[in-house]
Structure 1
Amino acid sequence: MEPGEPSEPTLSDKLDDDHYPAYTMGQATEILGVTAAFMRSLGTANLIEPLRSPGGHRRYSRYQLRLAARARRLVDQGTPMEAACRIITLENQLAEAMRLNAELQRRTHPSHGSPTP
């Protein structure tokens, strides 16, 4: 490896990474209590795009499992799958916009929100 090149992630890095595709389809369905068809439908609805192992098997991250769990709760409450996925997408976009707005506010007005000595 050349100096300055990123190093390979360690096992500890992978375990701490919310986006590391650590879970197989079987593990994901067992953890969430859903069917493989449900997980595939999340991909069809463009909510989750699992990574693929070298053998072509779907792999899911903890973050993706949280999205799937949220979708399951909405579907269990009677929300159609497509609508549930759209709701989750919009919730995520709103959360990101709010995060960016707060960051911009901190940069623009550094004294706001800071306690005075």
Structure 2
Amino acid sequence: MTAEEPLGRLDDDDYPAFTMGRAAEMIGTTPAFLRAIGEARLITPLRSAGGHRRYSRYQLRIAARARELVDQGTPVEAACRIIILEDQLEEALRINAEFRRAAAGPDAGAEGR
């Protein structure tokens, strides 16, 4: 392990750097809200050796989106489902665009080599 590796984690969106209290503070909500979206399986925080929840920046962006929807009057469970569907749609559109590029490209058949 080099001295640079720990600092590299600061740029990693998936590194579980934030405690529940800090995560809730950052997105302007309560720990109970984070537990609720965890129970709805929208996000699954990692656990520290002591069993405490730890959140990544990516998870905080998802939680912030859920908070937006809840603040607009959407029930927590429905907000979580909306976000999951948005994510599935985004992934399907990305895959579709890749297929279209591959089909339109001059070397479309050469990708498997």
Q: TM-score, normalised by structure 1?
A: 0.83
User: Which residue does 1:30 correspond to in 2?
Assistant: 25
- Stretches (4+) displaced over 4 A: none
CA deviations on 1:47-94 (whole Å, 9 max, x unpaired) are 010001111110001110001000001001000000000000000010
Of the candidates 51, 54, 63, which is equivalent to residue 59 of structure 1?
54
Of the candidates 85, 88, 96, which is equivalent to residue 93 of structure 1?
88
Return the alpha-carbon distance in structure 1 between the equivalents of residues 66 and 102 of structure 2: 35
Task: Provide structure 1 residue ranges, at least 5 long, that are not aligned to the other structure.
Answer: 2-6, 112-117
1:85 aligned partner, one-letter code: C
- From the two aligned structures, give the one with the greater helix fraction: 2
User: Which residue does 2:103 correspond to in 1?
Assistant: 108
Q: Secondary structure at the match of 1:10?
A: helix
Q: Secondary structure at the match of 2:16?
A: coil
Q: Secondary structure at the match of 2:33?
A: helix
User: Which residue does 1:4 correspond to in 2?
Assistant: none
Task: Provide structure 2 residue ranges, at least 5 long, that are not aligned to the other structure.
Answer: 107-113
Return the alpha-carbon distance in structure 1 between the equivalents of residues 22 and 55 of structure 2: 9
Aligned-residue offset at 1:108:
1.7
Aligned residue-pair number: 105
1:63 aligned partner, one-letter code: Y
2:35 aligned partner, one-letter code: R
What is the alpha-carbon root mean square deviation over aligned residues? 1.8
